Chain A
Amino acid sequence: MRAFFHCSKVLWMNDNRYFPEKVFVTKDCESFPITKRILNNTHHLPVEFITDSRELIADVLVSRDPVGEGKKLLLVTHQRGGYVKPCPCTPQYIGCNYFIINADLNCPLDCSYCILQLYLNNPLITVHANTSVLYRQLDDFLHKNRDRALRIGTGELGDSLALDHLTGRSSELISYFARHPNVFFELKTKTANIDKILEHKPPNNIVIAWSLNSDKISGEEEFGAPPVLERILAARLVSQAGYKVGFHFDPIIYHEGWADGYGEVIETLMGQIDRKKIAWISLGSLRFPPALKQVIQKRFPNTKKIYEEFISGKDGKMRYPKPLRQRLYQRLVHDLKKAGAGEIPVYFCMESKDIWLEVQKKAPRSKKEVEKLLTLRLGANENDF
């Protein structure tokens, strides 16, 4: 087995978990419970209380690598906008009716392909501390949607668990959603930071999910993230504790030996995890807005993955040509079935109807159908759709 964390461009990992070089707290957030927990868990680090984060952010933005520099600093501040939003998905492709909670912003991991590198309004690792607003907004949102099954998660603008040892965010959220059985709440991660998760009695509607890739891609492109085997072993512990787990092969990246690479991970996965505990598996091939290419060229000059053949998709994002995507998906779906995952819902993230038809032999007519496919098996009521 490889070392737990392979070489990272920045040395910000300590004891296998993320610790920033410095913590900044806006003064209006000083008294919030999550701020107190963070300060308690980072008592050995320098802390600065600031009135306004704009000057700090502007200073980081000037640096040669704002994304890399931003990962060294933790900012605790207010969420000024809405916490709960529909997943933006992508135009022209089939979505899955997912909702996202923007609790934290940015991620201490440093994956070359990460879309967050393009969102440069604020490159700092940011924890939004005004959680009473979050729960108020969630109450409103869930009340409006009380008669339907919902899927909601936190892994859109950052890793759901990478900061958990500092914030304890997962405990709060799991306790909250345990009281809302019609909602399937997903925490999505690449880490093995599961201590807080294991402290809970697992509610039925919580899914802890891991993003997986081939060993080669994980080693070459997912800097700071634990090797895939560590993620699978963490998933095993969590599933053995009684949680449902999910897996996202996303982004699937075409590379030499890809078929064997992904095949081995699938074999390990299905050998380690009780399939009855797997809520869903998603597949999505590498796709990115054209502007991300220049950022990757600059930040990861050694990566060659962006120089494969891409086409401009119907949504304007760069994608592999359809026949190649089809081939990637067909192989992974075949390997999943062969490894015994035949009963587990497998869905595509941001893919076309054609791909669904070619690979799965059936295509959902709407994103609601995808939602139904994923949640019925978890106990959602047929009338909730």
Chain B
Amino acid sequence: MKLLDILIDDLNLADERFRFSYHFDLKKLLISIKKIGLTSPVLVVKRKGLPYVVLSGWKRIFACLELSQVSISAFLIEEEDDSRAFFLSLYENWASRDFNILEKAEILLKLNGLMKDERKIVREFFPLLDIPANLSYFDIFLKIAHLDPSWKKVIFQKKMPLHLAQFLTEFNRDDRERLLPLILPLNMNKLKQFIEDLHELSKKTGESLKAILSTPEILSVSRSDNLSSLQKSEKIRSLVRTKRYPTLSSWKKSFETSIKKAQLSKEVDFDSPSFYEDGQFSVTFSLHDKEAFQKRIVKLEELGADESLFSLFEGFVDE
């Protein structure tokens, strides 16, 4: 292993045979290089064509390019065998950081090409990558590796968990295209719920996403000029949720209607039982002194005489 100072132009950046990281945030590294320079040389090997193929250090190289540097410190690794060179790159990175699901997917794609023996890959590398040692996960990661770059970017930016990324691979390309603008404005929790609901609705009804998202109600929302993209996503998410859980949604609506009818004051909160499972309604109110307390008591007495409120206790009938 030799330490060299090489021209970045001499790196064959089109040769990505050892690359498994495609999405990075360079911000911190740029600041660090500006302040103290590059402290950790990249790893390269020699192959035909341009003299050097990058083994490890893509992020550092892109940061140096961003800073218009022309050369970079590199260790030249003398390794002719691609498999062994890849393992070197893999272990070098593995020792210093955790991989995200996109990197794991790329690693497995590369290993699949290099090793061919999938059981061996599962047994040797899945424990390193914190993946359950089971071939079905191999299939999932390979599908993720083949997703379009636009989706990979979303998975990276939203830090999407594996099962959501897996659901995405189960939608066809057209459906994914349709979904992309709808999920971009949503935060992670809402995005998770939206994709899960769509996935399950599609499984339950056998409908494609196109069919699910083409109801007149949803179309009128998506075509509205008065709504922002976030408002559209929120409304469509809510419509999909109602379609996925019609009974629970109708109970929620019925509860909210009853509360509205009772015209409760803002100081009193009336909560439904959790999933209507334990039958316990709760009433909470806040106060800061004796007088406020007495006022709440009077209000509660008024509520107790309100017949319309009693419909809440009659239970929810599954039609």
Q: Is B200 within 8 A of A321, CB to CB?
A: no
How far apart sit A319 and B139, CA to CA, in the bound complex (Å)? 31
Which residue on chain B has the smallest CB distance to residue A62? B122
Interface check B180, CB cutoff 8 A: no
Q: Which residues of A contact B277 (CB under 8 A)?
A: 311, 313-314, 319, 321-322, 352
Contacts of A171 in B (CB 8 A): none
- A304 with B204: CB separation less than 8 A: yes
Per-position 1/0 for A46-69, Cβ under 8 A of B = 000000000000100111111000
Quick one: which of A61, A62, A66, A294 has the most chain B CB within 10 A?
Answer: A62
Q: How many residues of A contact B (CB 8 A)?
A: 25
Q: Taking the complex as formed, is B47 at the interface, i.e. its CB lies under 8 A from any CB of chain A?
A: no
Alpha-carbon distance A321/B275, docked complex (angstroms): 7
Q: Is the CB of B134 within 8 A of A63?
A: yes
Chain A residues positioned under 8 Å from B163 (CB to CB) = 294
Given A61-B134, A62-B123, A298-B136, are A314 and B247 also a contact pair (CB < 8 Å)?
Answer: no
B246 touches A (CB below 8 Å):
yes
* CB of B283 within 8 Å of the partner chain: no
CB of A64 within 8 A of CB of B136, answer: yes
CB contacts under 8 Å to A, within B233-250, are 245-248
Interface stretch among B33-41, B88-96, B186-194, B311-319? B311-319
Dominant SS among interface residues on chain B: helix
Sorting the interface of chain B by its residue count into under 10, 10 to 19, 20 to 34 or 35 or more gives 20 to 34
Q: Which residues of B contact A354 (CB under 8 A)?
A: 278-279
Decide if A376 is an interface residue (CB 8 Å cutoff): no
The verdict on A86 contacting chain B, using a C-beta distance below 8 Å, is no
Q: CB-CB < 8 A to A324: which residues of B?
A: 247, 318
Q: Knowing A64-B134, A311-B276, say if A323 contacts B315 (CB, 8 Å).
A: yes
Residues of B114-137 at the interface with A, using a CB-CB cut-off of 8 Å, are 119, 122-123, 133-136
Which chain B residues numbered 189 to 220 have a C-beta less than 8 Å away from chain A? 200-201, 203-204
Find out whether the CB atom of B278 lies under 8 angstroms from the CB atom of A314.
yes
For A319, list chain B residues within 8 Å (CB).
277
Complex alpha-carbon distance, A327 and B317, angstroms: 10
A66 CA / B135 CA spacing, docked (Å): 9
A170 to B136, CA, bound (A): 37
Contacts A309-B245, A309-B247, A323-B317; A64 near B135 (Cβ below 8 A): yes
Using an 8 Å CB-CB cutoff, how does the interface string of A25-63 with B read, 1 for contact, 0 for none? 000000000000000000000000000000000100111
Known: A309-B246, A311-B248, A323-B315. A62 touches B204 (CB 8 A): no
| Alpha-carbon distance between A298 and B134 when the two chains are bound, in angstroms | 13
Known contacts A62-B133, A321-B247; 4 additional CB pairs below 8 A are A64-B139, A311-B277, A321-B276, A352-B277
14 contacts between A and B (CB under 8 A): A61-B133, A62-B122, A62-B123, A62-B135, A63-B134, A304-B203, A307-B203, A311-B277, A314-B278, A319-B277, A321-B275, A322-B277, A323-B318, A324-B247
Closest 8 A-B residue pairs measured CB to CB?
A311-B275, A307-B204, A64-B135, A64-B136, A323-B318, A307-B200, A62-B122, A309-B245
